[in-house]
Amino acid sequence: MAAQKNTDRHEYRLRVSPEFDELEQVHRTVVLCETTREFASFRYELGVEEEVSGTTLKYRITGLKAPQLSLPDSGPAYFRRSYTGLNGAIEILIEGLDKRTTSFVFDVTPTSVTLTSQPRESFVSVSTEPEHPS
């Protein structure tokens, strides 16, 4: 499980962005959480316990999981979910392995995501840019 040296003060990256599913013709909000560490041998999955309550999404990071396919690949460990129907102010809480928590608030519409509140200091960096810009 060799990893590249992490010079970022953040342990995780959180990306929340809109996505249009061409096949199903539906707008979704994608939440991607990944490590800032890059793993050389595999693309590990980030073990996460997910809790959805009203307008709050809570993710408790539990560790790394071996990938479903054992084909060699490199990159960060990741957790990805997509949601339909998120609208308005959405709070995302992330709890790290060491039980530290951080919270972000986003204004979500079917076609846009705007960060409206974030802590001054956090172990998670945040972005609302699409995963794969068009």
- How do the pLDDT tens digits run along the chain, 134 residues long? 444 444 458 999 999 999 999 999 999 999 999 999 988 877 888 999 999 999 999 999 999 988 776 667 788 989 999 999 999 999 999 999 999 999 999 999 999 999 999 999 999 999 999 876 54
Distances (CA, A) of 61 to 21, 38, 83: 27, 17, 19
Residues composing the chain: 134
Give the structural domain span for 117.
12-122
Residue at 127 is within a domain: no
The total number of structural domains in the chain stands at 1
Residue at 70 is within a domain: yes
Residue at 38 is within a domain: yes
Residue at 19 is within a domain: yes
* Beta strands, E only, the chain: 12-21, 26-35, 45-53, 56-65, 78-83, 88-95, 101-109, 112-117, 124-127
pTM score, whole prediction = 0.86
Residue at 59 is within a domain: yes
Residue at 5 is within a domain: no
